[in-house]
Amino acid sequence: KNEVEQSPQNLTAQEGEFITINCSYSVGISALHWLQQHPGGGIVSLFMLSSGKKKHGRLIATINIQEKHSSLHITASHPRDSAVYICAVKDMDSNYQLIWGAGTKLIIKP
């Protein structure tokens, strides 16, 4: 079993829809990161969470430490949001090594 599980693996939606990507982890963490990678592009950090909720524009990220679960929401989705979204955690039990989820490939159709 992977320490970081993301769902769904693939998601196709229409422009304007509300998008939710989930991340569950099984290890103790110091932080959880949501990252974005466009095709052929580099990786961009969206959020770093250790508790609660953060909002940046149309993006919202939440984390429930007790349930070891985080969600990334995109409101009013747009085709430019099409990318791979990756959840990664800093694992306290492995000297804070960054453990990656497999990523969620999001396609927003106009």
The binding site for other proteins (CB under 8 A) comprises: 30-31, 33, 35, 42-45, 48, 50, 86, 88, 90, 94-100, 102-103
Do residues 74 and 85 touch, judged by C-beta distance below 8 A?
no
Nearest to 101 by CA among 71, 76, 66: 71
Q: How far is the CB of 87 from other proteins (least distance, A)?
A: 11
Of 35 and 74, which CB lies nearer to other proteins in the complex structure? 35
Backbone angles phi, psi at 81, to 5 degrees: -80, -10
Residue number with CB closer to other proteins (11 or 17): 11
Question: In whole angstroms, how close is the CB of 35 to other proteins at the nearest point?
Answer: 7
Cα–Cα distance measured from residue 91 to residue 23, given in angstroms and rounded to the nearest whole number: 14
CA distance 92 to 61: 21
Residue 32 CB, shortest distance to other proteins, in Å, is: 10
